[in-house]
């Protein structure tokens, strides 16, 4: 005879290794709070609908609250043979309140139970992620505001392209994290539909009130189709996708922190408390934190691919494969949350090395486009101007000079329309500060970006 909650039709007890292999309790115990919350709402609904007696409901509720306490105080014993958190709680309930505990699972299945638990858990996680994203956005805006006088080279192909404001560079990341914030908010909408009451797959003949549990559990509405409700894991995939994109942004920022902190670039100084040393090389100060954030990106992408692959071609409705949904999600969210949590204070303490950045921005002919634009203003078609400046740059490279180090006579060899006013156009600081087209790196434009960002954060 099997002693399982579902053991009625079984003659043999479950093989010991099958128990272990089948169990998810060692990881889904993390859902205990949500499981109890869901059960409390379910039992309340059963009572309201006259499906169970109010006294029975009261007894069950007390039992559930006692279990909650036991778990929170570390007194609850999680046993592998109870398979998952749902059955562990139900078994304990029966121990505490006796046979009436068996009434809790009326008009419910573990299939809708696990879906509702997972969704409630993810709703909380999304709110937490959004809180960390907000902190990070705040830090970025603060840094951008404090560093408006710092000029750095902007790159394409990691080759010097044009001078930009360091604040403009920082605000680029603000935009990325803002989109991440919105992606999580959007995914939340799909999390906000209550699957409880879908039962195993088909709904129930009991007169349940799904709108009531929806209200009690804080969902915006019940799901529309019971079959879909228990087989849907899109919501978890959306979270993993949003997490992957967000971590990709964090990894790009980390990569730049790592490069910019090298002695070769020497654009920034990382704070000691966010770096580690080497056990052999005394001079080292390594950007381990940024590297780890970059590294964790692999775990998060892996988690996303893992669940996509698990879900691929699964027939409707619930399949046990879907038990494999939780670990990747837990891992991805832990990694994302950790990365967000540490990025904000690390970034806040990054010091920009203004002189070095400016020096670097002045090299690499970063204002060659400015010279071409100058010629265009003098009536020369842009393509011709581009060619003239190309030749000028070639000459400057041969002379080992920057463009603004060429004399007016030298410049005039390439185009006699060049006058003395050219120097103010090819000045690195001016080149960066004056690009005030909407969204450009100009000082006025960046100030607008910062103002908009502040308004955005304030309304979150
Ligand atoms: N532990 C299971 C999971 O995480 C709960 C649902 C089990 N349902 C079932 N019919 N075996 O997916």
In terms of Cα–Cα distance, which of 357, 347, 348, 352 is closest to 432? 357
Domains and CATH numbers, the chain: 7-106 (1.10.275.10), 111-138+163-357 (1.20.200.10), 360-458 (1.10.40.30)
Say whether 168 is catalytic: no
User: Is 111's C-beta closer than 6 angstroms to any atom of ligand 1?
Assistant: yes
Q: 105: buried, middle or exposed (CB in 10 Å: 19+, 13-18, 0-12)?
A: middle
Q: What is the pLDDT of residue 6?
A: 86
From 122, 200, 318, the mutation candidate for ligand 1 (largest count of ligand atoms within 8 A of CB) is 318
From 110, 111, 317, the mutation candidate for ligand 1 (largest count of ligand atoms within 8 A of CB) is 110
The alpha carbon of 64 and the centre of ligand 1 are apart by a number of angstroms equal to 20
Q: What is the pLDDT of residue 65?
A: 98
Mean pLDDT of successive 10-residue segments in the chain (460 residues)?
A: 81 91 97 98 98 98 98 97 96 98 98 98 98 98 98 96 97 98 98 98 98 98 98 98 98 98 97 89 90 98 98 97 98 98 98 97 91 94 95 95 94 94 94 96 98 98
H-helix segments, 261-324 = 288-311
User: Is 318's C-beta closer than 6 angstroms to any atom of ligand 1?
Assistant: yes
Distance CA 167, CA 155 (A): 15
Sign of CA dihedral 35, 38, 42, 44: positive
From 28, 231, 321, 323, the mutation candidate for ligand 1 (largest count of ligand atoms within 8 A of CB) is 323
The alpha carbon of 336 and the centre of ligand 1 are apart by a number of angstroms equal to 26
Distance CA 251, CA 398 (A): 39
Nearest alpha carbon, ligand 1 atom 12 = 323
Nearest alpha carbon, ligand 1 atom 3 = 323
User: Is 25's C-beta closer than 6 angstroms to any atom of ligand 1?
Assistant: no
In terms of Cα–Cα distance, which of 428, 458, 425, 413 is closest to 360? 428
State which ligand 1 atom lies nearest to the alpha carbon of 322.
12
Which of 2, 220, 271, 278 is labelled catalytic? 278
User: Is 82's C-beta closer than 6 angstroms to any atom of ligand 1?
Assistant: no
Sign of CA dihedral 58, 64, 65, 70: positive
Say whether 226 is catalytic: no
Which of 157, 279, 407, 437 is labelled catalytic? 157
Are 67 and 76 in contact by the 8 Å Cβ rule? The answer is: yes
User: Is 113's C-beta closer than 6 angstroms to any atom of ligand 1?
Assistant: no
Nearest alpha carbon, ligand 1 atom 11 = 320
Alpha-carbon separation of residue 24 from 4, 86, 120, 138, 231 (angstroms): 15, 10, 18, 39, 18
Nearest alpha carbon, ligand 1 atom 7 = 110
The alpha carbon of 89 and the centre of ligand 1 are apart by a number of angstroms equal to 14
Residue 254 CA to its chain's centroid (Å)? 14
User: Is 121's C-beta closer than 6 angstroms to any atom of ligand 1?
Assistant: no
């Amino acid at each position: 005879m099997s002693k399982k909650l579902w053991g009625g039709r079984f003659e043999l007890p479950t093989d010991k290794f099958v128990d272990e292999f089948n169990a998810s309790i060692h990881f889904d115990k993390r859902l205990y709070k949500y499981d109890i919350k869901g059960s409390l709402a379910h039992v309340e609904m059963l009572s309201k609908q006259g499906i169970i007696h109010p006294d029975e409901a009261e007894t069950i509720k007390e039992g559930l609250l006692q279990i909650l306490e036991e778990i929170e105080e570390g007194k609850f014993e999680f046993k592998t043979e109870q398979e998952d958190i749902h059955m562990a709680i139900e078994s304990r309930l029966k121990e505490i309140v006796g046979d009436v505990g068996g009434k809790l699972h009326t008009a419910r299945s573990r299939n809708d139970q696990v879906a509702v638990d997972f969704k409630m858990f993810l709703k909380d996680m999304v709110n937490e992620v959004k809180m960390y994203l907000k902190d990070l956005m705040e830090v970025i805006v603060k840094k951008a505001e404090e560093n408006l006088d710092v000029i750095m080279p902007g790159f394409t192909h990691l080759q010097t392209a044009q001078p930009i404001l360091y604040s403009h560079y920082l605000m680029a990341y603000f935009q990325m994290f803002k989109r991440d914030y919105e992606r999580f908010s959007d995914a939340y909408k799909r999390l906000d539909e209550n699957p409880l009451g879908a039962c195993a797959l088909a709904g129930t003949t009991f007169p349940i009130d799904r709108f009531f549990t929806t209200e009690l559990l804080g969902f915006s509405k019940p799901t529309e189709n019971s079959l879909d409700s228990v087989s849907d894991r899109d919501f978890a995939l959306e979270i993993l996708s949003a997490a992957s994109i967000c971590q990709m942004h964090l990894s790009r920022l980390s990569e730049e922190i790592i490069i910019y902190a090298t002695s070769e670039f020497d654009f920034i100084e990382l704070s000691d408390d966010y770096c580690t040393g080497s056990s052999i090389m005394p001079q080292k100060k390594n950007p381990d934190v940024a590297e780890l954030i970059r590294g964790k990106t692999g775990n998060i992408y892996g988690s996303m691919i893992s669940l996509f692959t698990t879900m691929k071609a699964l027939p409707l409705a619930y399949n046990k494969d879907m038990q494999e949904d939780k670990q990747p999600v837990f891992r991805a969210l832990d990694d994302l949350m950790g990365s967000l949590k540490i990025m904000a204070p690390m970034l806040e303490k990054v010091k920009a090395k203004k002189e070095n950045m400016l020096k670097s921005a002045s090299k690499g002919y970063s204002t060659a486009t400015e010279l071409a634009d100058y010629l265009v203003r003098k009536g020369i078609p842009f393509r011709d101007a581009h060619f003239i400046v190309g030749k000028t740059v070639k000459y400057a490279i041969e002379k080992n000079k920057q463009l603004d180090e060429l004399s007016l006579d030298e410049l005039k060899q390439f185009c006699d329309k060049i006058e003395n006013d050219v120097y103010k156009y090819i000045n690195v600081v001016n080149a960066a500060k004056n690009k005030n087209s909407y969204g450009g790196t100009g000082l006025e434009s960046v100030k607008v970006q910062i103002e908009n960002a502040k308004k955005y954060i304030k309304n979150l």
